[in-house]
Structure formats: structure tokens, C-alpha cells
Structure 1
Amino acid sequence: MITWYHSWRAAIRIARRDAWRFKGRSFLVLAMIALPILGVSAADVTLRSAELSTEQGLERSLGGADARLTDPGLGGVPVKQSPDAESYVPVGDFDGKPWPEGRTDIRKVLPAGAKFLTDSIGSAKLRTTHGLLNTEIRELKASDPMAKGLLAVDRGRLPQKADEVAATTHFLESSGLKVGSALAARGLDREYKIVGAYELPGSLKTDQVNALPGAVLAPLGKALEKAGLPGSEPSTTHLVSLAGGFTWNMVKEVNAKGVTVNSRVVALDPPARSEVPIYQEEGWGDFEESTAAKAAALAAVGTVVGLAMLEICLLAGPAFAVGARRSRRQLGLVGANGGDRRHIRAIVLAGGLVIGVAAAVVGTILGLLLTFALRPLLEDYMGKRFGSFDIRPLELLGIGLLAVVTGLMAAIVPAITSSRQTVLASLTGRRGVRKSSRVLPVIGLIAVILGAAVALYGSTMTDQFIVVAGGSALAELGVVALTPALVGLFGRTGRILPLSPRLALRDAVRNRGRTAPAVAAVLAAVAGTVAVATYAASADAQGEAQYTARLPYGAVSVMLDEAGGRDVPSVRATVQKLLPIDVRADVDRISVGKPNCPMYGDGEGCGRYEVVVPTANECPLWKTDPARPDEDPAAKFSKAERRKLGDDWRCKEVGGGGVYADSGVLVGDAKLLKVLKIDDAEAEKALAAGQIVSFDKRNVDAKGKIGIRLVTDIKAADAASEKGKEAPGEIKSFGVHQAAAETNSYGIAMIVPPAAVKASGMATVPLGAYFSTDKMPSSEQRQRLSGELDKTGSDVSLNIEEGYTSDNSIILLALTVFAGLITIGAAGIATGLAQADAEADLKTLAAVGAPPRVRRTLSGFQCGVVAAMGVLLGSAAGVLPAIGLRLTEKRQQLKWYQDALDQGFGSMQTPPHVPIIVPWATLAALLVAVPVGAAILAALVTRSRGALSRRAAT
């Protein structure tokens, strides 16, 4: 008696033999299934390898030390911290009180017997072969055992002397320097020798230079301070080594002295949540992902995997069906020798099993080899080194099982179909009369209507994207189910076509078993592309409408806030020399205090200025009550009052964007109006007459004057501001010309003519210039300008207004290419199957005298027909989800806008503009170029003459 084991063994042997006999078809199906397995297995190994273990993460953060101690800057106030030291809060209630601040001497809190190593990080502008490069400076004795693992030496050695440094490989590539070169910092006369190159395993793209403690940052800070140049304050942590390590109790003891600790012992053996004081605070420690979020993530992953399997099954299923028909005589012999239907089903399913197992093995092995070969490129792309080449056998086994399941699913329908054929039909090769199912189109139509209704409901009645996405997916599956019936409708157009396309269309309709899945596969790919393309084009139109230009198109601004503006004249001349300048408008800034004070008045002997806003012009929503400085001013108004005040001119924001200037005040002349394209003859006359041109009427008092307060005592001014009082200082009054309200001043509140500043006795400092250009500067001109500005050694802020630029153009192009490849691939597969399935028809055509080119043209039209039907249906199905998502976004943004009006922020908002734009260029490329390209490609790769064969025995 033959058991199920023996029958399946025989079926697998038969399937294996058939797969080997028909290598072309087998390779095609294997490739379709193996490619996704290759990608998923490669992604799995990559992600697992990039995911660091706790020990590997500690090596990159602590090196060989037991802990890293950090001063949080809270002045020694006791703190509570999380075990990983990422979160901390001071102990005590500081509501309504000044937040604690100040430094703590970490060395005083170290336990007895502890060894420490300082790790200081700052930044400086280093001179390179191209100019200046802002670089991270790290002072750490990296040769110490406690620093082992923090830096990985690539070549050369680590610094051993005060005049030696090592640099990251990325810095050397960016700067054009090499090991052995001399390195200098801006503002520092001394040079350092680069003795080695290293990399940061967790940050490969960081520009960093390593030096011994005290070798660079301290002398550089003194030099910059002496020269009046801005510098950065370095941050210092302490690596600590202690016998037995830092336990959690020791960490809490150090926390009591105002210092946080990242401990190796604690990271490897975290304390219970009940032992962590910060987690006992309300709202802390509740950061675990919710069950709903996890379910949503799993649902998303499941949906992607399911759609991928569906796509593979749609393409691989017809291949198994054709294979079963090609082997129908063999299957008939099985039936003639006593085999029943289950044996026929087992043989066809075994074909799916064999191909699935082979695809799983091939895809997994290729995925591992590909990841191993591309490891350096992947690490460079991700910007960090792998912890190890981590292979998870169980995960790879699960991915391989996915291939096996996909192969079996693709073979289910052909297996059932083959088992239903009679032995006589199988042996004679007759297919019999095949009728299309009438149930499937009805189910598909119901799914389309129901899915469209759900998507419409989700876009008009709810704010949940998942409802729209679910309804759209259901409607798309309904269209897939309708595909066989729709293919039949397309067939009715064949009577008006010439011979070759009519034959191709008739063949596609007659063999819907292989045509419909291929069309459905193309439909799914194109629908997703059209949906994303429509959404991206709509979002792009919205972004363009919301874009705020900083300057007129093609205009250039250059600003330089440094000591006394000494480099401004040379910078102005450099820009005018290298760019196609039409008009140049020099601008200065008002200076209070010493001549070399920066824009913001920081530093001893430096002050600032303030524009005096008349009390009557202050927006009530923003006006703070001095008696209650912590109270929200808008809280005392009702929603209706806040909405009304949102339209008050006092609460309207003046044209946003623009190049930043302190209080929006610039000292300039009428040339600035020309660069900003402000056509106002009265404003030009006012500037010539020594009057201020104002673009914000809130600054103008009832007498038509503008006041500018000169604050020399900043501390006193800040103290007065905290009490809701006016800052002490002399007020200068100026005549004013108020520009029209609709004037776009690009963020400038007022232009003060030099004559008015001079008459008032105020001092000015060169700030920069605005330029209009004859044409948009080219990329080469900009690169040359950046290089020349770097050579000046100044911190220059350069802006060139290019108008709105969209990143979606590349996305749309990539989507079009992707959809085209999928479409051509699916259509090509269907054409190849059609040729294999219709070999008898082609021989009949040759026998009745059809010219050889008919075979080539027929193949091309077969491919084009499948591509055209899939693209047409996919384009129609893809627009629905994009429209639904855009309508849902519009509802959300309208809700946010209404909430802003209720809260009193309506003056800072504009009504939402959420357009729906159909990307006609992308659709045209898909509807015309892709089917035509697929047809031409199929015709070119098809032989004109087929091989002769003997007549089959009957």
C-alpha cells in the first residue's frame, strides 16, 4: 500500500525532474521568488549587524573605562537620573523659581582610588587646502587604556606631544590634507603636525581632530578672545576606572552631588524600575511602545509582506499553470496508471515546493554574500561600523519559509485546475471549453464599491489615515478580482485593430488564466506608483504655495557679524567680482558700546538697541501683565475675542522669512529698495531726506515717529524686562515714511538712512550687502565664491535666493522608472509564457504562410497589450488613495487652524491650502512610454523564426 509519504516522495522527484528539464521557466519562477528573499535576508543581516549589543555600545561610549561622569550644569544640585544617564532632573520643585545652573568640579566627587581621564570636545575653524572647515576638536589622551575602543587608528599613530594631532579619515578627505601635513587653526599662530588618521566607529562622517589635553582648545580660546573673535565653550566629561566598577548605589551617591554617571556595571545589570528614583516621578518611565502602536507596526509589516507575496504569486502562478499544461501528457499518464486527483495536485504543488525551497536557499545565500561583499559600502552609507557580522539562523529560516509558502501558494490554483482535467483531455492535449467564473467579478465589484465608500468616509468624516488606506487597499483588491472580466471587455476592441494586435489581444482574452494575473501584477505596481506620485505632486504644490522667499529671485545677500566689521569691505568686493552683479546695496548695523562688539551685544562694554513699540500698538494677545509675568496674556480673552484679535493689525506678523537682522533694522539707502524690488518713489524720497522707511506700522507712534532705545546696561535692562518694565536707556526719535501694508520687505522692519544715524549721534558698523544679479549664478560661480570667502577667514553668511525647489521631482522620476521596470518585467513574463503556451498557434501561422516578422510583431503586441491594460487600470486605481489622503490632511489642517484661532494664534497662521494635483507627466510616461517600450523590447528580443518540430502523435 502506497502511503502519503511515498506518494509525495514520488511527486517531488517528478517535480524536480520537470524543473530541471524546463530550465528557462524554472529559472524565471525561481528568480521571481528568490529576489525578494535576497533583499529581505540581506536587510535582516544588515540591520542585525548594525545593531550593537550592550557590550559593543559600551565600548564605543566608555572605551575601557568603568564609567563616564558628566556635569549637567546644575550647580551641584542633587539630580535623579535614568540608568543609562540619558535623562535626568534636579531634585526639588523649581516651578516659578530660577532653574539651577553652574559648574561642578567632578574630580571632587570621585570615589577614593578612582582613576580618571578627561575628554573635552570643542570646535574650531581649521585651515585646509580649500579654505576653512569648522571641525570638532577632541582633547583626549587616546593612548590611555581607558580610551581603548573610542578611536580606531587607521594609519599612522596617535599624538604623543603637544604639537601633534591625529585626524579622522573623513576630515582628511574633506580638507585635502594627509598624514604628515601641517595643521593650523584660525586665530592661532602655532601649527600642529598630523601624525595619524583614525575613525570614530559610531560616526564615520564626523570631522574631528584629536589632541592631547590642553594642547589646542585652551590656547585657541585665549587667542580668539584676544583678537575679539567668537569661539565655542568646550564640554568636558571624565572617564573613570574603579576597582569593582560603579554600582547603582554608587551612581545615586554621585547623583546627590549633582553629577550624572553612565556606568558599565549598571548598563550590563540594570536596576529594577522600583529602585530608580526618576521613574517614581509622575510622567517618567512611561516611554514603552504601546500595544496599539506595536499592533499597528506589525500590521504594516504584515501588509507589506502580504502584498509582496501577492505580487509574486500573481506573476509566478501563470508560470506554474503553463508548466502544468506543458506537462499535461505526463499528468495524464499518471491518471491512466491509477493516480487520482490528489496525486496530480501533489505533483503540481511539489513543483511549487521544489522551486520555493531552491529560491529560499539561493536567495538566502546570495543575500549573505551580497551583505558581506557590500559591508564597507553599507557601513559608509549608514555612517557607522557594524558591531559584527550577525547571522540569526532562525530569522533566516523564517525568511526562507516565506519563499516556500509563496511557491506553494503560487502553485495552488494550477494544481486544482490540472487535477480537474480528464485523463482523455490530458493525453490528447485538448483543453476543452473553459468558462470564466461569474462569482469573482461580482465579489470584485462589491469590494470596489465598499472600499471606495470606506475611503470616502475616512477622508470626509474622520482624521484617521488608516481608514483611507484600508478602504483604498480593499478597492484595489476588488479591481484585481475584476481583472479577468475587464480583460474580456478589452477584447471587444480587437475588431478594429490590425492583424497582429488583434491576434495578441484575442490570445490574451482566450488565456485569461495567465493574462489576468500579469495584468493584476502590473496594476498593483502602477497603482502604488500613481498613488505616491499624486500625493507627492500635491504636497509639492502645497509646499510651493507655502514657500517664503528670503530674497527676490536671483538676489544675493552677504552678512558678516564680526569684530568691527573689518572684513566686510573685502567680502563685498569679492561677491561683486565673482558674481554677475547688477545692483549692490551696502548695509550697516547700529552699534552700541565698543566698536568691536558683536551684533547681539555680548561682552563687557557692549550694549544693544531696541525698537520702541508704542503701548497703543502692542497686541493685547502678547502683552504681559507686569503683576503676573507667568500668566498667558491670551487666557483672559474668550475664544470669540481671540478670533477677533487674530485679525487685528496689531497682531499680524509682518512678512516672514528674509535674511536675519537684529530687530529687523538695517542701515542703508535707496539701492536696497531696488535690490528688494520695492517700487516706491515716496520711500526713495524719504531715504534721501533722512527719514526712516518703515514696513511695520506697529513701530510708528501717534506723532508719526519711530523711537530706538540705546541700552548700555544690559543687566539692568534684563532685570527691568523680568518685572515687565521698560529698559533704561536713551531714546532716539526719527521721522518716518510708512510703506504700503502689502509691501514684501523680506523680513526687514525698517531701513534707516546713514544720514539719520549720523545726525542722531549713533554709531554704525559695516554688516554686509544685498545684490541683485543679471542672471542666476551658476554652480561653478557659487563654488568659486565659497572658496574665496573661505580664504578671507571670516564667518560669512551667504544667501542666494533660488526660489522654490522641489525634492519630489527625483522621487517622481524614480517612481516612474520603478513602475516601468515592474510593468515591463511583468509584461515580459506574460509574453514569455504566452509564447511557450501558444507555440502550436505560432507554428500554425507559419504553416499557412504567415511571414517570419509576424512572430516578432505578435510577441511585441502581446507584451504591449498586457502592459497597456495593467497601466490603464492601475492609473485609475491609484488616484483614489491619494485623493483620500489629501482630503484627510485638509481636514486635519483646518482643525489645527481653527484651534490656533481659538487660542489666539490666528495672526501667525494662514488658512490651509491643500491642493490635489494629478501628475499628468508621470501618467503620460506610464500610459504611453511604458507599453510602447515594453512592446518594442519584446519584439527585439524575439526570434523571427521558430524551431521546426515533428507532428505530435495522437
Structure 2
Amino acid sequence: MVAIPVAGLSGVALVGLSMVPTVDETIAVELGQAEARINMISSPDPSLIQRPARPGWHQVEMDSAGVPVNTQADAHLVDPATLVPADSTLLALRSTDVTIETATGIAGIPAVEGETWNAEFDPKYALVDGRAPQTNDEILVTAAGLDRLGVGLGDRATLLDPERSVTVVGVLDVAEYPDSKIAVFGRLGAFTGDTQPSVDQDDFYLFDHALNWTAVQQLNESGAVVLSKSVLLDPPPVGSYQLQASAELQGAATTVVTLTAAGVAFAVLEVALLAGAAFTVGVRHQQRTLATVASVGGHRRTLFQIVTASGLVLGLAGGIVGVAIGVLSGSLFMAITGDGSAVQYWGYHLSIPILIGIALFAMLIGWIAALLPAWTASRLDVLAALRGARSPQVVHRTGRRWIGISIIVAGVAMTAGGALAGTASFSTPGVIDNSSLYQLSIMLVLAGPVLAQVGALLVAPVILSALAALVTRLGTGARLAARDVVRNRSRSLPVLAAIMTTVFVGTMLLAFFGGSDQASRESYERWNAEGQMMVDLNGWTDGTSQIIYPIAPEVSTMLREQFGADKVSVLSGVQPASPEATDNSPKPLVVLRPEVRCELVSGSNPAGACDAPFWLFSNGSAPQIWTGTIDDLALILDEEVSRDAQRALRAGGAVSLYPQYVQDDGTIQIDWMPASTMVGDDQNQKVAPLSTKTIDAVVQQPAHPIHFGVFMLESTARSHGLAPVTLRVLASLPAPLDDADYDQLWGSLRSLTGGTDLLARYEAGPGSTIETSG
């Protein structure tokens, strides 16, 4: 009972510490052998400050509107080459992406331009096979890229946009990439066409010149943020620099410490209950031995020490065994789950001091678990124990019962108080306003159930008696067993404690992880029903011109033949105002019910104050109104269309997938708004519509919210002055698509559009990344 939780602690310690980098590991992965990485983020600003080891955390002085006060938006950035000594080496690396033909089709993959093969970047980048590119028509790939592209060293590959042929001349290993990651590398400008360093796009790596903290602060004033090897090795004292974001990091760290401390305390109590129950049973079996010791002059203190010493010995033994099992299990877990990335497990961080501490912690738990049995053993009836007689049952007064009930009430109150405190700590969902109150809520929620459990143990005799009275009616065997449990409480209560503790821990973990999973599922945003693929037929030809391709029949055939789609629908939509709209041409807008509001907030959850799906309040590029047949609506809903909905559609009405669109009179309201006022505005703003129409509507909600608002027949839409156009193909697929399938899909779509990318999206549901190409 001691070894099992200790094994868990040891394994978690090994895996957790291995996921935290040392300074040397951070330098190796982030910088290689470079002295610093410099990124220009603004024009010179004397107020720019950064965190020493996290240059991504930086800030500048701003006015009340959130605009920097010391720089202008169109101000030029300083060339970093002018900020470092002339005799130092400064290499630029640029991240981009390319479209390339693969063995199965076409894929968009990340690319890096610059001298990644330079030996000074090792081990961040390491050329493991072949040679460095000598021209812009030669590239390097990762090992996984060879398989994905279906090429070997010296073979040709085809880049698209624009189309040209390149030669694969080497294999590059990237420390932070998993083994399955595909990427390509080339000379500066090999993919973007810009062979000169770009101040606002490139990462600049400095060699042969160290930058201390003072030098980094001087570069900050020039508009740069810097990750410096010297600063990582010799950071400035904590508190010697000021940064607003550091409070957020400190709050996160405090939360982690709070959870860890509460978890350790919780483990001590739970393991003590489990091991204590075992020690209690063991002491009863040792009564005659202990009585013999007492009969030859042993004092109560001696008996107490004998039992507690056995707790120490067993605790240490359980700790050693548990540590060994935990280290072995953690090592096996990392070996199985490792993906080859240096940032997944930065190293094998086996901390001997921590493991020794865990073993000593186990010994302490054993000693604590033996305290109560030792106290009981020191007060045993020697003569009765030598005769083998059982000690008479002690009849406790109702005081213990009421104490237990009081403790249960206190535990429940603490838990409820923690829940209320946690709710009060959020200003809006997802935004913690009071971190101290939030940490207190965590402590209360963890401590409350444990305290209630202790109270339940005190009233356990009453519970056993009540259960015995119920089961006596089930037969002679049940009656005799119930009486035995009630009369031998010293034997039954430890067993009850062990079972109750185990069930309690299991239930708590299931509730915690289940609640987290459920919250994730509820907040997950689906574009269409799970198991469906959508292909939008509108694309951008030159980055500014949008075109709708009349290829719906070809896309439908492709989805059926290549991917086995059993149901395919071609959907038309009423286009909203385009992003470049500047005129007052009327565009239709489905109006939400007047009480539906969305007060946008800042923070990690901007939709936290909305009382409907967030996308309903956004005038984006996706249509609100879709048209098609009743079968098309059934595919959208992924269920049969209700009879009411069918009658409404045939009668010239509409079906709303959200009740927020249907007004009190049972209609949807369509306002024709000036196009220039719709782009970027939310529906809380009051702009007078050019005209308004209402259409009778019913509500049929899908199983989960999806990005379809209102549906009607095409004839109905046109009768109300709407102009739907073919915009999307929706298909139900028998299985998710893998990388090879997506390569094939993307290649097929580009062949239909003449090289333009279309958005293709498979909805896998929560727990899986939504696959997106284009």
C-alpha cells in the first residue's frame, strides 16, 4: 500500500523533471553554438523591456488606448547588423512554408531559409547526410520528408507556387522536431525569392560575441528582444527587472506550487488511511507477542516504539520498492511515448535527491500510519491477550457520532466555499481576476472532501449498524455476516476505511478528468457534423481577388471515388459583405433576438460573456443563410429532418439551427444593411437597415452547434430577393483522412482550380485536431 503511491510519485517525478529543460539543454535547442538570437520587433523605444530568459514576454509603454507612446506604426526597424560589433558573425534564418508535390499528391509543409547546415548551429540543426545546398535549386529535407516526398538523395522534387524543380541534396535533423515532422530547408531566398535579410521577418543569430544583461537592455532600447546564452547562464537577480507579464507567470507558478503542496498533503492522508488500516489488522494479529513483551517488563512506550518502528521499516521498504518500480515505469513510459523531439523530454533527469526524499517520505507515511495502531497496542489488556481472549467492544457515546457529523458538515461547507470562491475569482469565464482567491479555492476544494471523509470514518459504526439492519432481511447468511461486521468493529472499520479511501480517490480522479474532458468537449467548436468533410469552392487567386470555382460536380465525384463518400451535398449560400466592401450596397443580415448579447472581453476567452455561440455575433465571410434540398439539410444536421421542419420548408419558410435567430412571432428577421457598415461590426451596434423582411421559421437544432445558421429552399430564398450561389460541397466520409489522403485531396483540388488552394476541412470532433489543408 505504501509502494504503489510511491511508485506513482517516483514515475511522475522522473517524467515531469525530464520535461523541464536545464539551462544547457535550452541553449543547445534554442541557440546551438550561437551566443544570442536577436529579433527586431519595433522601432527604437526606450520603454521596451523583456524577461531575461523569455524574450517573448516583453512590453512597452502605452497610452490609455493601448497604443505605444514612443514609436510610430510606420517607423522603420533598425538593422541588427548595426547593433553588434562589425567583426561578429550574424546569420539570418527565415521561417516560411512551401507547397510541394509528395508521393501521394500535394502538401503544404514548413520551410526554413538560411544556413541551417552551418556547423555552428549544431545541435539545434545538424546535417546528418548529404551536403549543403550550393544554389537556390538545391534543398535539404528531414528524414521523414524523404518518405513523404518519395525521394532519395540526388532525386528531384517539385515545388509549386511557382512551379519549379529542385534537387534534394541532404538530410537535416532539427532538435525540436519529432521524427515524423517533415520540413524543407534552403538558402536564404530559396523559397521566398528575397535573398537579403529581412529585419522584420528573420531571426538573427549572433556568433563570436557574448551579450550580457546590460547589452541586452541596450538592444531592447533599439527595438530588439534577445535570447542570450550569457544571460541564460548568468541571469540577473530576481526583482532587478520589472515586467508586467511576470506577475502572470508568478501566479501560474504559485498555482502549481499550491496544487503540488495540496497533492502531497492529500497523498499523506490517503496513504496513511490505507496503510493504517493494514497496521491495525496487523497489530491485532500481534497482540499475544506484544503482551509477552509487556509481561516481562516492557513499558507502554516500548510497545509503542515496536509498532512505530515496524511502520518505519515497512515504510522504508515500501519506499525503496516503490521508487524502483516508479523509475522503471517512468523510463519505460518515456521510451514508448518519445517522438524524437528534444523538447518533449529534454533529457533523462533522474534526480537522486528527490528520489531519496520520496523514499524518506514513504518512511514518514509508514510511521504516521502506525501511530494510531501503536497507541492502541500500548494500551492492550495483557492478561486477556495472553489468554487469547478478545477485548470487549467499547461502547462509545453519541459524542463521537456528532463530532463526525460536524466534521462532515465542515468538509462539505469547505468544498462549497471553495466552489464559490473559485467562481468569484473569475471576472468572466476563462479570465482569472483574483489569483489569491483562486488558489484558496483550490485548497478548499481539495481539503473539504478529505475532511468529510475523516468525519465519515467517525460515524462509520452508525453506518454499519444501519446497513446491518437492512441486510438482515436478505437471509441467514447475510444476517450473520452483518452481525459479525457490527460486533467486530476493530476489524471491519479498517477494511471499510481502505475501501472507502480507494473508492474516494478513484471517484475524485474520474470526476476531475471527466469534468475537464467534458468542459473541453462543450467548448469545442465544430464547423460541421463529426465525420463530415467540407470543401469551400471560393478561393483567392492573387491574395486580393476572390473567385468561386464552378467545380461542385467534379469535387463531388472526387470525394466519392477517392474517399468513399456515401452522402454528398452541394450547398448554396447567400454571401455576406466582402472584406473590401466600401459602398452602401445592401447585404442581408439575419438578426438575433433582442435579448441575445455578447459583451466582448479581453483575455484568453473573448466569448466568455456571450450567451450564444460566439460565431453568431461575427459578420465573417461564411454565409448565415444556406439553401438546398431537404436531403441536404438532413446531411447538415446529420439526422432526419423533423416533420415540422419539412412542412415549413415546403410552405416557403425557413429552418433555423439556433433558437437565437427566431423572433417571438415565429419568424426570422432579415435586415438589408449597407455593406460598408457590416464588415467588422458586431450585431450590438445600432445601424438602421435599408429594408427588412420576415420569414416564417421553425427551429431544429443539431446534436452540437455547427457553423450553419439558417436553411431554406433555393426557391424560397430567391422569392425574398436573396441570391444564393454554389459555395460548398459537404460529404459524409467512412473514415478520417491521414496525411497521404490529404496530399491526394489537395492535389486533386489544385488540379481542378488550376493551382489555387481551396479550404478542405474534416471534422474529427473533440480530442482530435481538426485537419485543415489550404
Distance 1:402 1:158, change over 3 A: farther
Distance 1:363 1:806, change over 3 A: closer
1:25-81 deviations in whole A, cap 9, x for unaligned?
xxxxxxx11121122122223322332222321222121111111121x35666613
Letter of the structure 1 residue corresponding to residue 208 of structure 2: L
Q: Which residue of 2 aligns with 1:80?
A: 48
> In 1, Cα distance between the equivalents of 2:377 and 2:74?
80
1:306 to 243, 265, 268: 265
Structure 1: gaps (5+ residues): 1-31, 222-232, 593-598, 602-606, 623-631, 635-645, 688-694, 698-702, 808-954
2:187 to 190, 213, 220: 213
Q: Secondary structure at the match of 1:778?
A: coil
> In 1, Cα distance between the equivalents of 2:489 and 2:371?
17
Q: Secondary structure at the match of 2:226?
A: strand
Question: Does structure 1 retain, via aligned residues, the 8 Å contact 2:619–2:679?
Answer: no
Letter of the structure 1 residue corresponding to residue 569 of structure 2: R
Q: Secondary structure at the match of 2:696?
A: coil
| Residues 33-72 of structure 1 mapped to structure 2, 5 A cutoff | 33-72=2-41
Q: Which residue of 2 aligns with 1:451?
A: 411
Q: Which residue of 2 aligns with 1:259?
A: 224
> In 2, Cα distance between the equivalents of 1:666 and 1:235?
40
Shift of 1:586: 4.6
1:289 to 221, 232, 250: 250
Distance 1:332 1:461, change over 3 A: closer
Normalised to the residue count of structure 2, the TM-score between the two structures is: 0.72
2:456 to 476, 479, 482: 479
Letter of the structure 1 residue corresponding to residue 48 of structure 2: K
Q: Secondary structure at the match of 1:261?
A: strand
2:569 to 581, 584, 587: 584
Letter of the structure 1 residue corresponding to residue 116 of structure 2: A
Asked if residue 574 in structure 1 is aligned to residue 558 in structure 2, the reply is yes
Q: Which residue of 1 aligns with 2:734?
A: 778
Shift of 1:139: 2.0
Question: Does structure 2 retain, via aligned residues, the 8 Å contact 1:654–1:696?
Answer: no
Question: Does structure 2 retain, via aligned residues, the 8 Å contact 1:81–1:88?
Answer: yes
Deviates more, 1:355-364 or 1:370-379: 370-379
Asked if residue 797 in structure 1 is aligned to residue 767 in structure 2, the reply is no
1:577-636 deviations in whole A, cap 9, x for unaligned?
5556567335378799xxxxxx756xxxxx788763799x999999xxxxxxxxx999xx
Letter of the structure 2 residue corresponding to residue 192 of structure 1: T
Distance 1:418 1:470, change over 3 A: closer
| Residues 363-762 of structure 1 mapped to structure 2, 5 A cutoff | 363-377=322-336, 379-380=338-339, 384-438=343-397, 439-453=399-413, 455=415, 463=423, 465=441, 470-493=447-470, 495-498=472-475, 500-530=477-507, 550=527, 557-562=534-539, 563=541, 564-566=547-549, 569-577=553-561, 584-587=569-572, 612=586, 656=616, 661-662=621-622, 664=624, 679=646, 706=672, 738-740=694-696, 747=708
Question: Does structure 2 retain, via aligned residues, the 8 Å contact 1:127–1:185?
Answer: yes
Shift of 1:239: 0.6
Q: Which residue of 2 aligns with 1:867?
A: none
Question: Does structure 1 retain, via aligned residues, the 8 Å contact 2:280–2:494?
Answer: no
Question: Does structure 1 retain, via aligned residues, the 8 Å contact 2:49–2:220?
Answer: yes
Question: Does structure 2 retain, via aligned residues, the 8 Å contact 1:683–1:739?
Answer: no
Distance 1:441 1:256, change over 3 A: closer
Q: Secondary structure at the match of 2:372?
A: helix
> In 2, Cα distance between the equivalents of 1:344 and 1:96?
72
Percentage of identical aligned residues: 21
Asked if residue 146 in structure 1 is aligned to residue 120 in structure 2, the reply is yes
> In 2, Cα distance between the equivalents of 1:302 and 1:619?
48
> In 2, Cα distance between the equivalents of 1:249 and 1:780?
53
Question: Does structure 1 retain, via aligned residues, the 8 Å contact 2:290–2:303?
Answer: yes
Distance 1:590 1:301, change over 3 A: closer
> In 2, Cα distance between the equivalents of 1:614 and 1:797?
24
Structure 2: gaps (5+ residues): 425-440, 542-546, 602-608, 655-660, 664-668, 702-706, 751-756, 769-774
> In 2, Cα distance between the equivalents of 1:754 and 1:234?
52
Normalised to the residue count of structure 1, the TM-score between the two structures is: 0.60
Distance 1:509 1:128, change over 3 A: farther
Question: Does structure 2 retain, via aligned residues, the 8 Å contact 1:80–1:91?
Answer: yes
Q: Which residue of 2 aligns with 1:195?
A: 170
1:256-279 deviations in whole A, cap 9, x for unaligned?
443332222233333467875x65
1:771-809 deviations in whole A, cap 9, x for unaligned?
6xxxx642269999756523315444345779x8799xx
> In 2, Cα distance between the equivalents of 1:470 and 1:633?
36
> In 2, Cα distance between the equivalents of 1:41 and 1:57?
24
> In 2, Cα distance between the equivalents of 1:318 and 1:674?
59
Q: Which residue of 2 aligns with 1:137?
A: 111
Question: Does structure 1 retain, via aligned residues, the 8 Å contact 2:15–2:330?
Answer: yes
Q: Which residue of 1 aligns with 2:204?
A: 238
Shift of 1:331: 2.8
- Hey, which of these two has a bigger chunk of strand by percent? 2
> In 2, Cα distance between the equivalents of 1:654 and 1:739?
24
Letter of the structure 2 residue corresponding to residue 140 of structure 1: G
Q: Which residue of 1 aligns with 2:302?
A: 343
> In 2, Cα distance between the equivalents of 1:375 and 1:462?
35
Q: Secondary structure at the match of 1:235?
A: coil
> In 1, Cα distance between the equivalents of 2:240 and 2:303?
66
> In 1, Cα distance between the equivalents of 2:698 and 2:465?
61
Question: Does structure 2 retain, via aligned residues, the 8 Å contact 1:587–1:770?
Answer: no
Distance 1:313 1:743, change over 3 A: closer
Backbone CA RMSD of aligned residues? 5.4
Question: Does structure 2 retain, via aligned residues, the 8 Å contact 1:705–1:736?
Answer: yes
> In 1, Cα distance between the equivalents of 2:382 and 2:123?
72
> In 1, Cα distance between the equivalents of 2:583 and 2:710?
14
Q: Secondary structure at the match of 1:478?
A: helix
Q: Which residue of 2 aligns with 1:115?
A: 89
Letter of the structure 2 residue corresponding to residue 131 of structure 1: G
Distance 1:268 1:305, change over 3 A: closer
Question: Does structure 1 retain, via aligned residues, the 8 Å contact 2:569–2:635?
Answer: yes
Letter of the structure 1 residue corresponding to residue 105 of structure 2: G
Shift of 1:167: 3.6
> In 1, Cα distance between the equivalents of 2:116 and 2:762?
42
Letter of the structure 2 residue corresponding to residue 247 of structure 1: N
Question: Does structure 1 retain, via aligned residues, the 8 Å contact 2:141–2:172?
Answer: yes
> In 1, Cα distance between the equivalents of 2:726 and 2:75?
36
> In 2, Cα distance between the equivalents of 1:754 and 1:191?
52
Question: Does structure 1 retain, via aligned residues, the 8 Å contact 2:572–2:725?
Answer: no
> In 2, Cα distance between the equivalents of 1:405 and 1:313?
10
